[in-house]
Every structure is written in C-alpha cells, then in structure tokens.
Amino acid sequence: MSQTNTSEMLHKEYWDLTYISGPLVFLKNGDRFPTGAILDVHLATGEVRQGQILEATKTHAVLQLLQGTRGVDIQGTSVSLKADAARVACSVDVIGRRFNGTGIPIDGLPPIVPEKELEIVGSAINPVSRNAPNDFIETGISTIDGFNTLVRGQKLPIFLGSGLPGNEIANMIVQNAGTKGDDTPFVTVFAAMGITARETQYFLRSFEEGGKGSQVVAFINQADDPAIERLFAPRCALTVAEYLAFEKGYQVLVVLTDLTNYCDALRQISSAREEIPGRRGYPGYMYTDLSSIYERAGRIHGKPGSVTQIPMLTMPDDDITHPIPDLTGYITEGQIVLSRPLHRQGIFPPVDLLPCLSRLMNNGIGKNRTQPWHREWSNQLYAAYAEGQRIKKLMAIVGEDALTEQDKKYLRFSNAFEAQMIGQQFERRTIEETFKIGWRLLGHLPKSELTRIKREVVDEFYVAIEDQSDPTPPIKTQIENA
C-alpha cells in the first residue's frame, strides 16, 4: 500500500462490521487494509481499542482485538487505520524497563523515546548471512553449563511438566546468565505469556532484588490479559533483542515462558477463524508459526552481537510427544528436560540429564573456551550416571545383595551425582566450580573405570574419594588462563 493511500485512510472511519466471533471482528471490503495493519476500533461508548488485521481479501477482513471483544456492538462501532503494521519502540533505553505484551510500559515510567520503531513480525535470519553459533553462555546451572552447554546464537528449549519449578529456573537463568572472556555487553530479554498475577510479582520482585534488574528487558502478558496479546509478546521481545544485538552489538539472551500458553492462544484464534484443526485442535500451521519465533535466534556475519533463545514450555500430561514439544524439538537444537521424580526428592533444579541434549555444545567448549577435556569429562560423567541409573533399576528387581562391589560404587556415584551435581539448589555455579565437583564425584569410581578421558588428564585431576581430605585444586578455564 502506497504512503499516499495510507495517509488518506488514517482520517477515514468505516462502519461495515459484519459479525463477531470470539476475539475476532469481521469487516466487509477487506482490501482497504494491508495484512498486519493496526486499526483503532471506536465503540459507541466512546472507548477506543486497537486491533490487527489477520487476513484481508476483496470481500472481507479479519480483525483481532487486542483488548478483546467484550462490550463491542456491531451497531455504532467503527474502525479507522492507525498504522500499516504492528511496531515496537526500540532504543537502548529499553534495558531495565518492563512492558506488557504489546510493548506498552507497565513500570510507571514514561514511554520510551524510540531511536527506531520496528515491525514486530520480523523474519528468520538469511542462511547466507547467518554465522555459526560459537562461544558458550554461562547460565550458572551445572547440568546446562557442564553437560548441555548453551552456545551464543543457539535456541535451546526447556521442557517441563505441570507443577515443576519452571519459573524458578527461568528466574535463575535470567539472574545468573552471562558471557566469559568477552567485553561485549550482555543483556537478557524476558518474555512471559499467560502467567498469573502472583507469578508476575515474583518475577518483577526477583529482577529488582537480584541485582541484575537493570540489565533485563521484560515483556509480561498475564493470564487475564487478552489471548491475542500472547501472540505479540514474543515477537516484541525478539524485535527488541534483534535491535540490541545486530544494531547495538549486545550479546542478548531471550528467555520465553511459557510457549504452551502461546500455542493455546494460537489455537483459540484459529478456532475463532473457523479453520480446520490439526493435531489436538492446534492449527496446521503451528510448525511454521513456531519457526517464525525460533529461527530469529542466531549470529550474523560481520556483527559482534548475537540472539540466543531459551524457550520454556509445559508438556501437557508430561507427554514429550505432544504437538508443542514435538514440533519444538524439530526446530531447535536440543532440549533440557525436567524430571518429576527428582523434583519429588527435593532436588533443584530437577534436570533429567539422560534425555537432555545440546546439539551445538561442541561449538562452545574445548580449547581456548572452557577446557580441552570438557567433552571427555562430560561424556565420562554422563556414562557413569547412566550406568548408576541402570543398576538402580536392576537392584529393584534382584535386590541389593545381588549387586557386585563395582555395582555398589556406581550406585553410590549416581546418588552423589544427583545430590551434588544436579542438586545445586539456588546457588550460582561457575563452570570452574562445576568441573571441580565433577572431578570430586569421579573419585567414587576406580581410576581404571575412567576410560573416556585421556590418561594424562586423569592422572592430573583424579583423586580417589577416600583421599579427598581437601577437594581437587581450583580449575581455571582456557579463557582465564589466556
């Protein structure tokens, strides 16, 4: 649509609403508006609401109201064009601010004076200009940093069941995440979708009390806010993240919670549009829609900044084959899975290490980054823990008396691993502290069992558990040594 036509339409009001379905309003003569345009909806009471055009054809237009359709009467309601697309104000001044799902401040401070107003739709990074993710981001959580390392430019989701402490883990990551060995400024963009008022207060209070609130940009959509706003929140957050990363040079970590609420809002809108449902009632284009969010993470050639994503989603009935985690797994580069049995044991964070995976881990660890033996160390601990879990299941069948002395050592290692490595509680751990705990735990096993690590490395760091009057000496990363 030309700029002349747009400016003319800004002063016109249209009264040809036809009917309302859920959060949607249908209009005649839809080709007057571009898809994605923002309209003002003038109610007979004098109230003005905003909506966005989802679909526009010659015969009709579908308008979704951001504040919902409650109280809207077709008779006496008109619409007028406000903007040709949904935009969000972008500036470095957004850092430390709190917004609702559409980018309106909710922290009591004045609106942002934007350096740019950017469309929130965005797009995936062009594969030609995309740079390979590298260099790790330290989250402060041992099971991620040591075994499923997060790499700059990666998208690494967290899958959890209902009732598991996803909010606490999200807050822990927001408070503790950062880069090492790099002077590039780091900022976290947090987007919450469909959370309760109590959860909202928890996050806002934690951001301020935790000391890193000044480096967090928060977009909060509450459960009693319109479902439509849930579709805006992650896109506003990612647009701001892209601006900070690729125009201002920040390393940006985007934490999105909870994508299940986002997908439920997508299903609600699809149902109101009377679209043919797909799996479990979700729209058939949900894969494409999720891709439009996840694929906005990455690095670009020639630009120092990066956008890294940690999307969090609840698996209904703990079902990892549910459409939301299933499709997410196809698009992203690994997953962190939370365990209900570990949570019942009081272990926090209850990360179920065995099904977890970071496909880009090797890009962020090793020589000149963490330690040359990081991958070997991780593989050895992972294999030993898996063997301990196998023996635990065997013991439930044959009894403890049937176990060999070697089996019992693996069993003790497994229990100690859960208590000390996985169960770090709320303390922040550096990667060096994670390495140190790992070597101490390997002392539960005979030296001859450490076959996945080079012998010279084992000789340098291994100390049998009975000889550990003092834990292993401090371990510095390659970055610090440099």
- Of 22-31, 163-172, 193-202, 330-339, the poorest mean pLDDT is in 22-31
As a whole number, mean pLDDT of residues 466-482 equals: 59
Task: Tell whether the model's pLDDT for residue 166 goes beyond 50.
Answer: yes
Q: Tell me, what's the pLDDT at 194?
A: 95
As a whole number, mean pLDDT of residues 229-254 equals: 96
378 vs 147: CA distance, rounded Å:
6
Q: Tell me, what's the pLDDT at 4?
A: 46
Task: Tell whether the model's pLDDT for residue 461 goes beyond 70.
Answer: yes
In the β-sheet with 136-138, what is the strand arrangement from edge to edge? Answer: 150-151, 136-138, 178-179
Q: Tell me, what's the pLDDT at 470?
A: 57
The amino acid that residue 294 corresponds to is: Y
Task: Tell whether the model's pLDDT for residue 210 goes beyond 80.
Answer: no
Q: Tell me, what's the pLDDT at 182?
A: 79
Q: Tell me, what's the pLDDT at 361?
A: 96
Domains assigned to the chain: 7-85 (2.40.30.20), 88-363 (3.40.50.12240), 374-481 (1.10.1140)
- Give pLDDT tens digits for 424-437: 999 999 999 999 99
Residue of higher predicted confidence among 457 and 50? 457
- For residue 241, give every residue at least 6 positions away whose Cβ sits within 8 Å of its Cβ, in sequence order, or none: 189, 252, 254, 296, 307
Q: Tell me, what's the pLDDT at 260?
A: 97
Q: Place 9 in a pLDDT band, splitting at 50, 70 and 90.
A: low
132 vs 146: CA distance, rounded Å:
21
- Of 1-15, 155-169, 423-437, the poorest mean pLDDT is in 1-15
Q: Tell me, what's the pLDDT at 443?
A: 96
Task: Tell whether the model's pLDDT for residue 394 goes beyond 60.
Answer: yes
Q: Which letter does DSSP use for residue 452 in this model?
A: S
Task: Tell whether the model's pLDDT for residue 221 goes beyond 80.
Answer: yes
Residue 247 CB-density burial (10 A; 0-12 exposed, 13-18 middle, 19+ buried): middle
Q: Tell me, what's the pLDDT at 387?
A: 97
Task: Tell whether the model's pLDDT for residue 56 goes beyond 90.
Answer: no
As a whole number, mean pLDDT of residues 179-197 equals: 91
Q: Tell me, what's the pLDDT at 32?
A: 83
- For residue 70, give every residue at least 6 positions away whose Cβ sits within 8 Å of its Cβ, in sequence order, or none: none
- Of 116-125, 148-157, 442-451, the poorest mean pLDDT is in 116-125
Task: Tell whether the model's pLDDT for residue 419 goes beyond 60.
Answer: yes
Q: Tell me, what's the pLDDT at 481?
A: 47
pTM higher than 0.75 for the full model?
yes
Q: Place 475 in a pLDDT band, splitting at 50, 70 and 90.
A: low
As a whole number, mean pLDDT of residues 285-306 equals: 95
Q: Tell me, what's the pLDDT at 10?
A: 53
